[in-house]
Amino acid sequence: MPEAEVPPTAKPPFERAPRHVAIIMDGNGRWAAARSLPRAEGHRRGVEALRRIIRAASEIGIRFITIFSFSAENWSRPANEVGELMGLLRRFIRNDLAELHRSGVQVRVIGERDGLDPDIGRLLVEAEELTKANDGLTLVVAFNYGSRQEITRAAQRIAEQVAEGSLKPADIGMETLGAFLDAPDIPDPDLIIRTSGEQRLSNFLLWQSAYSELVFVPTYWPDFDRAALEAAIREYQQRERRFGGLVAKTGS
């Protein structure tokens, strides 16, 4: 058959899509400032970008996507901005949970639950409970998340087990610590993308990113779209992942 007549393939466009992509969704405020809009408008447009990227990730064949939506350090922002961000999370779960569930998305949440408004805590539990049997894309929402805090909580729980005598210090290995983190069953991210031009992790997945490929893009988060995601994945696919050895291992 001549090439032009080859029927469109049902295969996703990426043969070697990273299994787990984590995203630091940054630049909402600067997106708004560049348009003389309030920062809150940047955050609202950021939620629209998130919806697009969740859909695109499913279609591309990514299995896990982690999004950094509110950091443990973001409480230091002005109260009205913190309130706006909390309101957006509430609205996102209330408006989008049914649709995420219909599309087979499994929602997971990492981060500290203590100290959140009780209604937000309930919404997070509801999202996890409703979608826990879904086998499509896993969406990990990092909310009130800080990686050092997560590792510290893990260390405290390990210390409690040692104190009760159910764990011996000599038996604590890397896997033990990993097993006490917030989502121990989720594989480490293959690719971490940060938007907005900043080149730092800002206390995101420090343990889990030991061998992640990092891609920093100048785009502000509200402008990030499927094409930008695909470009980041293509960059990931050019990288040689050696994991300390001499031979490149295929990404996933």
Q: With CB cut-offs between 5 and 8 Å by kind, which of Mg ion, ligand IPE, none does residue 222 bind?
A: none
Q: Please, what is the minimum distance in Å from the beta carbon of residue 78 to Mg ion?
A: 14
Q: How far apart are CA 35 and CA 32, in angstroms?
A: 5
**Is 117 assigned a catalytic role?**
no
To the nearest whole angstrom, how small is the minimum distance from the Cβ of residue 30 to Mg ion?
8
Residue 252, SS3 per DSSP: coil
Alpha helices in the chain (DSSP H): 28-33, 39-60, 79-102, 118-131, 147-164, 174-179, 226-238
Which C-beta is closer to ligand IPE: that of 46 or that of 251?
46
- Which one, 59 or 117, has the nearer CB to ligand IPE? 117
With CB cut-offs between 5 and 8 Å by kind, which of ligand IPE, Mg ion, none does residue 71 bind?
A: ligand IPE
Interface residues with ligand IPE (CB under 6 A)? 24-30, 68-71, 74, 85, 196, 198, 200, 202, 221
Q: Which of 74, 96, 134, 188 is catalytic?
A: 74
User: CB of 187 within 8 A of CB of 19?
Assistant: yes
30 binds, among Mg ion, ligand IPE, none (CB under 5 to 8 A by kind): ligand IPE
3-class secondary structure, 40: helix
Among 23, 26, 40, 50, binds Mg ion (CB under 5 A): 26
Torsion of CA 209, 91, 97, 42, to 10 degrees: -50
190 catalytic per annotation = no
Give the end-to-end CA distance of the chain in Å, rounded to a whole number.
Answer: 32
Q: What is the set of active-site residues?
A: 26, 74
